Each structure stands twice: as C-alpha cells, then as structure tokens.
Amino acid sequence: MKWLDLPFVKTARGMVQLPGSKSISNRILLLAALAEGTTQVHDLLASDDTARMLDALTKLGISITQIDKNDYSIIGGNGTFPVKQADLFLGNAGTAFRPLVAVLSLMHGHYRLSGVSRMHERPIADLVDALRQLGANIIYLANSGFPPLEIKPMDSFIESNTYFVTMKGNVSSQFLTGLLMALPLSEKKSIIQVSGTLISQPYIELTLAQMQRFGVNVERTDWQQFSIPAHQGYRSPGHITIEGDASSASYFLAAGAIGRGPVRVQGVGRDSAQGDVRFAAALEMMGAKIAMGENWIEASNAETGHTGKFLQAIDLDCNHIPDAAMTLAVTALFAEGATTLRNIASWRLKETDRLTAMSTELRKLGATVEEGADYLRIIPPVNGLIPHAAIDTYDDHRMAMCFSLASLGAPIRINDPDCVTKTFPHYFEKFSQITHPENKINPTKSSIPI
C-alpha cells in the first residue's frame, strides 16, 4: 500500500499552471469524434479519464493522432462511428461512460461497456430509461440499473418527426449531458423534459457551451425543458484549446486562503464556462481575499499576518459546485464556527460515497462531523488538527487532493496518493511547490505492508 507523508506547512504562496479541464476535455473529444471535419485539440488533460475516452474512440474507428504532449488531431466520423461492434472498458470515468452510452445507443451497432468495480456500483438506470423511450436496445449484463451494459441495434424506430423524452434531474447531470450530446445525431427535433430539480446545473451549461462550439444550439426553458432543432449535425470548429480545470483550481485557491498566500492559478478566470469557478466566491464568503483576471484567479488571507482561523464558517447550498464543495469541507477545518454544506446528495454516487468518506476522514483529524442524507456539518477541533493522521482516499482522486490541505494544520499521511492520476497526475508535485514549511522537506513515497 503506497502512502505519501506531507509535512506541516506554515504558508502557501506561488503560482500554478492548471492542467486542462477533465469535464471539457472528454466532452470535446467526443464532440470532435462525432463532427464533420478535423479538429485540432490543444492542451488536453493527460489523465486516466481522458485516456479511457481516447482509447474508446480509437476502438470505435476514429482517427486520432497525437501531435504533441497534450495536442491531438481528430478526424471526425460525421455523426457516426466506423466500427459497429466493440467491447469498451472505461475504468471509473463517468465523463466517458455516460455520454458514450447515450451516443452508442443511437449508432445501430453492437457494443459492450464495462468499467472497474466501483463503476458497476454507480447507478445508470435513469439514463437507460430515457434512452429506451427513444427505442434504444440496452441490456444490463449484471445488476439491473447498473453497468456493465450491452447495447444492440434499435428494435424499432419512432415514426414521429420529434423525439420527446423525460428524465429525472436529481441524480446525475452526466445523464442529461449524455442525452443532449447524443440527440443531434438523430437529425430529428428533440425535446427533453426534466422532472424534479436539476442538480449541478453549471455542468449542463458547460455541455451546452461545448455543443455550441461545434455548431449545435439548444433552446432551454429554465432548467426544465431542452429543445434541439432538427438537422443540426456537429461541425468541427478547426481548433479548440482546453481551458484549465476549475475543480483542480479549488485546492490551490483554498491553500492560499488558509496559508496566507497569495496563490494564483493560471488557465481559468472570470469568464470560464465551468461552474466550479464559483468556488472562489465561497472562499470570499469565508473571509478570503479573491482577485480575478481573464485567465487567472488569486486567493490570499484578507488579513495580512494571520493564518487559518481568521476564516469564518458558512452555511451554503452547494448544488452549483458539487466537486469543489469537497474542498470546502476540508477548508472548514480552518474556519471559526460550524460550516454546513447542503444539497450534496450526489456525492454518494461518485467515485466513492463521498459523504461517508469525507465524514470518516475529517473525524481522524479531530473534527466533529454531522452527516445527513444530503449535507455535512463540520466543527473544527478546538486544539488544532490531530497530527500524523493517516487519510484513506478510497481510490478517489478528490479525496486525496482535498486532504492535502490538512497539512496546513498538521503533518499528515495520504494513503494511495496515486489515485490522483484519474485527473491530475502531478498534483502533489504542484502542491509541494507552493507550500512552505519552515524546513522544506520534499514529500516522499514509500510502501508498507497492507
């Protein structure tokens, strides 16, 4: 079992160039593969999740050439995939699995999609039910409602000139994203009616923005109905540059807020289409000083010379920043009072049950935590963080990155640090560059018996 010891660090200060956004990267890869023409994709995120998507698209017959380290040339299939039968292994990449299920169900081919064991525990029934309304022929290969899946050619075709489908909005925004990205392939007008409250709305905004870059416009009525006009095929814009990952920015911005700062992240700024840029506003509510430019965000202490406990607890509905809200949970260890993060039930359906995992690990550091069905209430320890806690990460990249922030209060151990390769392979090196203990010690990896 690998582990990583992080020393107690006094301050955080410096600049970080962010890797490309995972959410944008996998959306752009799929849209480029479906488009007419060739797309040059620049600054693509290099991670396990994007590697799964690249591998799947290659197996589906799409020509992809790596031009440089993070630059690719993709020759689109003009609305189809050349390969009509394939077995695809997608690891634990939800941003690859869910949209591919939707797209492949309209491809009139025979496909099998599987992943790691955790992916097979993540529900997909709401997406499958929606696709079956369109005539999709999808079979559960193990447990009903969960991957792995088999997709066969449609049994029947809807005669109407309009596809009309309803789906729940309160489980995962990736289901609606997949449906939105797939329906332009039908060439019919499509109407999606969302029942209930749509969670993670900024991720749908992100999807619509990327679709528009490829020439497809979606008409939205509030967050309850989405209409896609007929005959809107995807067309390559030629060149696309992936902006920096706003979710990854949250860890460094929080470090700047806790550890004096300033810490500046480059690659994402005030005009970003990513919802997680709103994390900066949450830090500001806690008392941090935030500055923004077109392509950068900076965080520091609002009160020079103070660290940590000048931050104030907040009570926040986190529906709009579900991933970055995890960073707030650890930041709460450094705030005065009880922080409550609400509307985060979707955490339970991610790479692990993040509500329970976060509660368990925060308690190791001495926090008092109340875990509800869709909220966390966190009271920091009175006498500082418990030193040398061994933080379990549950094969969840965000757990590992979030808890690195605890080293601003005490030395800690991160178990299985390599799980960050899912989205940010060099995270701990970047974190080490901006954190400054009195006697700088490079973090070291070791192995100990299980």
Tokens of 210: 């990327």
Would you give the distance in Å from CA 98 to the centre of its chain?
13
| Three-state DSSP state, 443 | coil
339-342, strands of its sheet edge to edge = 315-317, 339-342, 375-379, 368-371
Tokens of 244: 């920096």
Q: What are phi and psi for residue 183, nearest 5 degrees?
A: -65, -30
Between CA 412 and CA 390 the distance in angstroms is 6
Between CA 448 and CA 414 the distance in angstroms is 13
Q: What are phi and psi for residue 399, nearest 5 degrees?
A: -60, -45
Tell the residue number behind the tokens 């290099």, with chain if given.
46
Of the candidates 43, 323, 392, 396, the residue annotated as catalytic is 323
With contact defined as beta carbons under 8 Å apart, do 364 and 391 qualify? Answer: yes
Neighbours of 318 (CB within 10 A): 26
Question: Nearest to residue 373, comparing CAs of 352, 356, 350?
Answer: 356
Question: Nearest to residue 17, comparing CAs of 43, 49, 48?
Answer: 43
Question: Nearest to residue 177, comparing CAs of 27, 68, 33?
Answer: 27
Between CA 171 and CA 60 the distance in angstroms is 29
Cβ within 8 Å of residue 159, ≥6 positions away:
none
Reduced DSSP (H G I as helix, E B as strand, rest coil) percent helix, strand, coil of the chain, to 5: 35, 30, 40
What are the beta bridge partners of residue 71?
A: 68
What are the beta bridge partners of residue 163?
A: 190
219-221, strands of its sheet edge to edge = 162-168, 189-195, 225-228, 219-221
Say how many Å lie between the first and final Cα of the chain, rounded.
6
323 in active site: yes
Between CA 432 and CA 440 the distance in angstroms is 9
By annotation, the residues acting in catalysis are: 323
